[in-house]
Structure 1
Amino acid sequence: MKQKMVFIFMILILFANSAAASTKADPLVDLAQFAQSYIAPVDTWEVTIKEHQSRSNLMTIVENARENGHKVTVTPSKKAVYYSWTNTDQKSGITTAFKVVEPTNDSFASELVAVISGSSWNDNIRQSYNQIRQNAQETYFMQDFVVFTCLTTQERDIINNVYVERKLQDRLDLTYISSQEDFIKDVHKKTTYGYTHLWATKIDMMDKPLNFQMVVRQGPNDGEQAVLGTPILIHEY
């Protein structure tokens, strides 16, 4: 996504796997529907899937990508070698960017990362996304993957935080709600945290479950935008 989000918490005790996820709702679908109903139309969104796997298994994935006609880019660095390639669904415009991380230090685990991303949201995009994510999980991942979801809304003049938080409780059954407000260089930003039992992934913070974060901040055109993520926003916004 264009927006970068702050890594505010180490990935400590994330509990997510394909078996659990299959019995729970998809956070992206829930968040997109919620945003469009109660905040503003969806601007951009992404779902990041990560999993540690053996080097031999990941090298097989890389070779299969090459054999299937993908251009695999190899980027070496002091800490790791990165293998990356991209799929784009022509019908929906949804992009899946794959990255295999091979650390140069054998004490660190190799990792597969898939980032599924798109812009806007409607029923056709939802159906394409569901199929693309299912295919990625069944083809490349095993049982111990973790999933991060985030989306950014389009700008609107004012986002009514009180109204949105009330709807979060009603529609997502959000509990353990807390919030904080910051003023950075005269820019107002409000962050809301919470937990919903509807989603499989969560972390524990201060002895409380957490799997929802929303940031309302000033957009590039001086309106307000919302950035929603689960279980927590992992980039700098």
Structure 2
Amino acid sequence: MRKLSILLVLFLLITAKPVVHGMESDEMIDLANFTISNGIPIESWQVTMKESVTAEQAERQLDKMKNGSFVTRSEDGNAIKYLLREDAKHNALQVSYTIVIPKDTTIKSEIIVIIEGTKWNEEIEGNYLSKKREIVEKYLTETSKTFACLTTDFSGIMESDVLVEEIISYFDLRHIKTQFDTVKNSTHKKIVYGYTDLWKENFIIDDAPLNLQLAIATNEKEELKYTIGTPILIHEY
């Protein structure tokens, strides 16, 4: 997912989370429902939850997370990093936790939780929501931020322009911007940005809010593959 993460590095402006039919919209479920409704096979999906905390809070959460998880510790000149993975897959989900404690005490520590998988159906959706709720209750607070990313298999089901129109309609996308990749041998031929009222985070470019990014790629058979997600700000320590 690292290459895809680089595509999604964007600055955030946090706004109030919209409520749809009395419930908060979940980005991952919205992305999966769109993909499945168009008959496009999902290759992988990932949800990242991030929160900045004090070093003391990070250490307390680390102690709580250690039960039932395999822990790896690494250190460099900038920070101490702990990676924890749950012992087994949780109902087709893989869950990992990263705690980063910078050595510069003026910089806040960070808790990063990743839930990911390679399949999606109603049962997995229920397990995902249950696991996400459990993580938020145990380790995070209401100030945490959630980001979602989904990648499809190569598919000849839909043309690129048709896909973009479907996404615009499905998410009621506004403030649409399109970039074309002219780099030779690049797999990503088009990147589309837009804004939907459904989701919490957004960033501002040219005075317009944006919070959805679509990267479209084709293979030698001109089959379509896309990565669609919400923007994420990545800290490198």
TM-score, normalised to structure 2, is 0.87
The letter of the residue matching 1:28 is: M
* CA 1:191–1:205: 2 relative to 1, 3 Å: same
Which sections of structure 2, spanning at least 5 residues, go unmatched? none
Confirm whether residue 43 of structure 1 aligns to residue 23 of structure 2. Answer: no
Q: Is the 8 A contact 1:218 1:225 kept in 2?
A: yes
* CA 1:168–1:224: 2 relative to 1, 3 Å: closer
Query: In 2, Cα distance between the equivalents of 1:139 and 1:211?
Result: 28
Q: Is the 8 A contact 2:171 2:196 kept in 1?
A: yes
**Residue 95 of structure 1: aligned partner:** 94
Query: In 2, Cα distance between the equivalents of 1:108 and 1:16?
Result: 25
Which segment is superposed worse, 222-231 or 135-144?
A: 222-231
**Residue 216 of structure 1: aligned partner:** 216
What is the SS of the residue equivalent to 2:182? strand
What is the SS of the residue equivalent to 2:13? coil
Confirm whether residue 84 of structure 1 aligns to residue 78 of structure 2. Answer: no
Confirm whether residue 196 of structure 1 aligns to residue 189 of structure 2. Answer: no
Instruction: Output one character per residue of 1:70-124: Cα deviation in whole Å (capped at 9) or x when no partner.
Output: 2221111111000111126645220111011000111211110001110121111
Confirm whether residue 207 of structure 1 aligns to residue 207 of structure 2. Answer: yes
* CA 1:37–1:20: 2 relative to 1, 3 Å: closer
Query: In 2, Cα distance between the equivalents of 1:89 and 1:171?
Result: 35
Confirm whether residue 112 of structure 1 aligns to residue 91 of structure 2. Answer: no
**1:127-206, aligned counterparts within 5 Å?**
127-157=126-156, 159-187=158-186, 189-206=189-206
TM-score, normalised to structure 1, is 0.87
The letter of the residue matching 1:180 is: Q
Which segment is superposed worse, 161-170 or 190-199?
A: 161-170
Instruction: Output one character per residue of 1:29-81: Cα deviation in whole Å (capped at 9) or x when no partner.
Output: 11111112226111100011111011111111111223x23222111111100
The aligned length equals 233
* CA 1:140–1:25: 2 relative to 1, 3 Å: same
Which sections of structure 1, spanning at least 5 residues, go unmatched? none
Q: Is the 8 A contact 2:150 2:228 kept in 1?
A: yes
Confirm whether residue 31 of structure 1 aligns to residue 31 of structure 2. Answer: yes
Query: In 2, Cα distance between the equivalents of 1:186 and 1:87?
Result: 38
Query: In 1, Cα distance between the equivalents of 2:128 and 2:220?
Result: 28
Which segment is superposed worse, 207-216 or 21-30?
A: 21-30
Which segment is superposed worse, 218-227 or 174-183?
A: 218-227
* CA 1:233–1:78: 2 relative to 1, 3 Å: closer
Q: Is the 8 A contact 2:69 2:87 kept in 1?
A: no
Query: In 1, Cα distance between the equivalents of 2:2 and 2:226?
Result: 14
What is the SS of the residue equivalent to 1:124? helix
Instruction: Output one character per residue of 1:128-150: Cα deviation in whole Å (capped at 9) or x when no partner.
Output: 11111111111111121112110
Query: In 1, Cα distance between the equivalents of 2:114 and 2:88?
Result: 13
Aligned CA-pair RMSD: 2.7
Q: Is the 8 A contact 2:49 2:145 kept in 1?
A: yes
Q: Is the 8 A contact 1:88 1:96 kept in 2?
A: no
Query: In 1, Cα distance between the equivalents of 2:217 and 2:228?
Result: 11
The letter of the residue matching 2:128 is: Y
Query: In 1, Cα distance between the equivalents of 2:105 and 2:215?
Result: 38
What is the SS of the residue equivalent to 2:179? strand
- Following superposition, the deviation at residue 219 of structure 1 comes to 4.7
